[in-house]
Amino acid sequence: MRDQWSYRQQHQRVFVSTAARLHLGFLDISGALGRRFGSLGLSIDAFRTSLHMQIAPTVSASGPSAERAVGYARKMLGLLGIREGVEIGIDEAIPDHAGLGSGTQMALAVGHAIHLLFGLSTNTSQVAIQMQRGRRSGIGIGGFDHGGFMVDSGVSEQDGPPPLTVQMPFPEAWRVLLVMDRGGQGLHGQQEVEAFRRLPPFPADQAAHLCHLTLMQILPGIREQRLGPVAAGVAELQRSVGDHFAPAQGGRYTSPAVADLLNWAELQGYAGVGQSSWGPTGFILLPDQASAIQLKEQARQRVGEFSPLCFELAAACNEGSHVAIESTRPVTKEAR
């Protein structure tokens, strides 16, 4: 099968790098108007999944989350009917099951790299469908393509990921303090599927309120770079959605340690707190780098050195993934 691919393709290496994202909550979990879920999200620069790939006799990977990458690669190669393998080197990976979009970004990175490596045209939605990603939220797909602050309008009866209906730059001066529980994981896999299945209906009036809040408070606040209304709006949305998911995750927040720290931050006057996806990662929205550094130090002092919590500062990532192709063909004397 090696002759199926050109000499050029056999001597290429594809690089893909994509940012983590915060999932800030759902708008209409029950889908009263025929579109279920709807999401708000933000690409952040604190963590990335970065890999390189080239054609090889078998499928292999090295680096963080290598096993997950191998699974995605085998799935995509099988779907495309490609018998060749690939060698994947993972330079960095978004932490698994922390609520930062690690699975979707790895799947999209691997899927895109395979399409490019074998000279096949594609788009991110197609890769997402092939990899069975984006079945509830389009934020990870939008982050891969565009970055920034995003709103999708939920899934409908038609096939395909939710359409991204808002994408806009997030103020570059603003910061996010990530509150991470090193010993915890958010729901994923079959547990996540079962949790969604068992959720009670989401009240239609509450869904209407969250959509109103998004359109008339959060989005204009971002456009006008006014953190106050954005932070208050995100926190209110988080309370509503978090309380709805409480039976599945043990409370408004998955991690008791994260919950304690976020409650403390609210008492200190920081309004924009919440949890990304199923957690356990929490976040606090802040106006600038100086205040973020100050709060990070205060939080560290409060929890002490034996706490399971750790803290990361992030800014928005207002651009999509980085993709590049380079030649690995040996340079001959004539070429020199």
CATH architecture of 171-315: 2-Layer Sandwich (3.30)
Mean pLDDT of 125-149: 94
Tokens of 157: 């009866």
Q: What is the pLDDT of residue 10?
A: 67
Judged against a pLDDT cut of 90, whether residue 253 lies above it is answered with yes
Q: What is the pLDDT of residue 336?
A: 43
Judged against a pLDDT cut of 50, whether residue 335 lies above it is answered with no
The three-state DSSP-derived secondary structure of the chain is: CHHHCCHHHHCEEEEEEEEEEEEEEEEECCCCCCCEEEEEEEEEEEEEEEEEEEEECCCEEECCCHHHHHHHHHHHHHHHCCCCEEEEEEEECCCCCCCCCHHHHHHHHHHHHHHHHCCCCCCHHHHHHHCCCCCCCCHHHHHHHCCCEEEECCECCCCCCCCEEEEECCCCCCEEEEEEECCCCCCCHHHHHHHHHHCCCCCHHHHHHHHHHHHHHHHHHHHCCCHHHHHHHHHHHHHHHHHHHHHHHCCCCCCHHHHHHHHHHHHCCCCCEEECCCCCCEEEEECCHHHHHHHHHHHHHHHCCCCCEEEEEECECCCCCEEEEEECCCCCCCCC
Judged against a pLDDT cut of 60, whether residue 334 lies above it is answered with no
Which band of pLDDT confidence, cut at 50, 70 and 90, is reported for residue 60?
very high
- Which residues partner with 36 through β-bridges? 155
Which band of pLDDT confidence, cut at 50, 70 and 90, is reported for residue 194?
confident
- For the chain, the average pLDDT equals 92
Residue-wise pLDDT tens digits, 210-223: 999 999 999 999 99
Name the more confident of 332 and 259: 259
- Which residues partner with 167 through β-bridges? 150
Judged against a pLDDT cut of 50, whether residue 317 lies above it is answered with yes
Domain 1-168+316-336: CATH class, spelled out: alpha beta
Say how far apart CA 310 and CA 314 lie, in whole Å.
Answer: 13
What is the residue extent of each domain of the chain? Answer: 1-168+316-336, 171-315
Closest Cα partner for 6 from 122, 123, 117? 117
Mean pLDDT of 13-27: 97
Buried b (16+ CB within 10 A) or exposed e, 10-45: bebbbbbbbbbbbbbbbbbbbbeeebbbbbbbbbbb
Say how far apart CA 12 and CA 324 lie, in whole Å.
Answer: 10
Mean pLDDT of 261-271: 96
Q: What is the pLDDT of residue 191?
A: 72
- Which residues partner with 176 through β-bridges? 285, 314
Name the more confident of 133 and 1: 133
Which band of pLDDT confidence, cut at 50, 70 and 90, is reported for residue 160?
confident
Judged against a pLDDT cut of 60, whether residue 292 lies above it is answered with yes
Judged against a pLDDT cut of 80, whether residue 196 lies above it is answered with no
Say how far apart CA 146 and CA 171 lie, in whole Å.
Answer: 15
Q: What is the pLDDT of residue 187?
A: 59
Judged against a pLDDT cut of 70, whether residue 272 lies above it is answered with yes
Contact, 128 vs 115, CB < 8 A? no
Phi, psi of 262, deg, nearest 5: -70, -40
pTM of this structure: 0.91
Judged against a pLDDT cut of 90, whether residue 193 lies above it is answered with no
Which band of pLDDT confidence, cut at 50, 70 and 90, is reported for residue 151?
very high
